[in-house]
Amino acid sequence: MQIFIMRHGQAFTSGSPDALRGLTEQGKLEASVMTKWLKNTNVDVQQILISPFIRAQETAKQVVDGFSNNVVATTLDFITPSGSARELHDYIDGVCVGDKIDTLLIVSHMPLVSYLVAELTVDNEAPIFQTAAIAEIDYDIKRMKGFLVKLTAPSDLC
């Protein structure tokens, strides 16, 4: 299984409550660049799990709109900045593996995206994500662990 973990694009720094902060124009551009990168690397995203926060929803919409296939998009209320990487790992193993998802994209926030990479990989390292960066994990569903293949940010592509 391929798991891609994406941090949302750049968001406005002010706003209350935090969940309502949207993407800046830069954030929309970052999401667009990363969507094109996913398509150019022939990634066939089947399902997207999305934080309910506006900036993650806007980022995921760019990805969904960029793919012509029928991507299943699911909002999960527990994948917020303070969400539990272990809970999301359990969800992936219980629901996504059971549904035979081959390629999964998760759109969420720091620090959860960083903790999730550590939770899902044998190296247990938590990388720092730039906005709209995507980590690719080669995930072994039998071992319930994987390997971080790469971490790609919009700045890597310019």
pLDDT of 103: 93
Q: How far apart are CA 22 and CA 117, in angstroms?
A: 24
In which residue ranges of the chain is pLDDT below 50?
Answer: none
DSSP 112-124: HHHHHHHHHBTT-
pLDDT of 31: 97
pLDDT of 67: 79
C-alpha closest to that of 43 among 115, 129, 135, 124: 135
Q: What share of the chain is helix, strand, coil (3-state, %, to 5)?
A: 35, 25, 40
pLDDT of 137: 98
**Chain CA centroid to CA 98, Å:** 20
List pLDDT tens digits, range 51-88.
999 999 999 999 998 876 778 899 999 999 999 999 99
Give yes or no for a contact between 92 and 104, defined as CB atoms under 8 angstroms apart.
yes
Of the chain, the end-to-end C-alpha distance in Å amounts to 28
pLDDT of 95: 84
pLDDT of 16: 74
DSSP 56-103: HHHHHHHHHHH--S--EEEE-TT-STT--HHHHHHHIIIIITTTT-SE
